[in-house]
Amino acid sequence: MHYISLQISPLTPPRPRPRFGETTTTRCNSLPPEKLEIYKSLEPWVAHSILPLLKPTDKSWQPSDFLPNSSQSTLCLHTRHIINTFDGVRDETGASASPWATWTRAWTAEEKRHGDLLRTYLYLSGRVDMLMIERTIQNLIASGMDPKTENNPYMGFVYTSFQERATFVSHGNTARLATENGDPLLARICGIIASDEKRHETAYVKIVEKLLEIDTTTAMLAIGNMMRKKITMPAYLMNDGQDVSLFSHYSAVAQRLGVYTAGDYADILEFFVGRWKLEGLEGLTDEGRCAQEYVCGLAQRIRKLQERSDEKARKKNPLSEKFSWIFNRKIIL
């Protein structure tokens, strides 16, 4: 999950930017002691089951493995900030030996390579206006992001599960499109990034799976809460200084090309319903059962809404917009 890759889009339009002094989210109170103890008790399990999903540095690929020799020719720290807002798992010192903190730092380090590689590829390709891309990235980091997870690790790990699977899907789709359009290097780059995202997804899916096992209702409520809010991807506040609706326009192109679509969103939701065995959960409170019913039926509702949207779109004349990233060329939305 990273910012340099422009391959993620949500189903919902960007949230309006708050005025100065406004609060962007209502933060919940810190978790009660008994909930914090759950995450403390899971540290040995994290060390045994989650940390092995990381790769040693000397066995990890590096951007230079995929790029021409330099003689011929840091963005993910924000990502780390997301998990460091979660009660019970944050890196309290910046170098904590806690398994939770160890995972977060190493995950961030692995993700950083994705942005480094894609940025260098774009620079060497000569196909894009790097000045405008760099301005977009700076503006995006300055704008920040609010995934609406508050300081709740239950909701936070639902978010990262969805996010990592979304990036796995979008990079896989981009690799396929690159192959179809004669760019085997880009296909290889996106393929290797997709494999990383799949490994990271496995970690977060296992965490939510464990939470459902030991604190079923709270975890089910967190899943329902995040699905009602809708998963908003990190780049929803992207801004190149020219197009005030840049993310909406980008999302429309991603949908049309098949990079990341409403159908993908529904597929991901269905995948999690099955993987986490949500339909068969027992022992839920009444509120938990309501969340269970809502989540298990949501993918079908999303598909029906998208069918109606697609039908309306087919009846309209196609629109196009200029993108500063590619020297203001017009692209059909």
What is the structure's pLDDT at 240? 94
Instruction: Inform me whether the pLDDT recorded for 21 exceeds 60.
Output: no
Residue 114 marked as a ligand binder? yes
Q: Which of 26-30, 86-90, 188-192 has the lowest mean pLDDT?
A: 26-30
* Mean pLDDT of all residues belonging to the chain: 86
Strands (E), the chain: 320-323, 329-332
Nearest to 207 by CA among 290, 295, 276: 276
Nearest to 159 by CA among 102, 201, 196, 99: 201
Over residues 122-156, the pLDDT tens digits come to: 999 999 999 999 999 999 988 988 899 988 999 99
User: Mean pLDDT over residues 318-325, rounded?
Assistant: 94
What is the structure's pLDDT at 67? 64
What is the structure's pLDDT at 289? 98
Q: What Cα–Cα distance (Å) separates residue 7 from each residue in 1, 17, 36, 133?
A: 10, 22, 35, 13
What is the structure's pLDDT at 81? 65
User: Mean pLDDT over residues 33-49, rounded?
Assistant: 92
What is the structure's pLDDT at 314? 83
Specify the pTM.
Answer: 0.81
What is the structure's pLDDT at 318? 87
Give the confidence band of 64 by pLDDT, cuts at 50, 70, 90: low
Residue 171 marked as a ligand binder? no
Instruction: Inform me whether the pLDDT recorded for 84 exceeds 90.
Output: no
What is the structure's pLDDT at 312? 84
What is the structure's pLDDT at 329? 96
- Between residues 284 and 312, the one the model is more confident about: 284
Residue 180 marked as a ligand binder? no
Residue 200 marked as a ligand binder? yes
21 C-beta neighbours (distance < 10 Å), count: 5
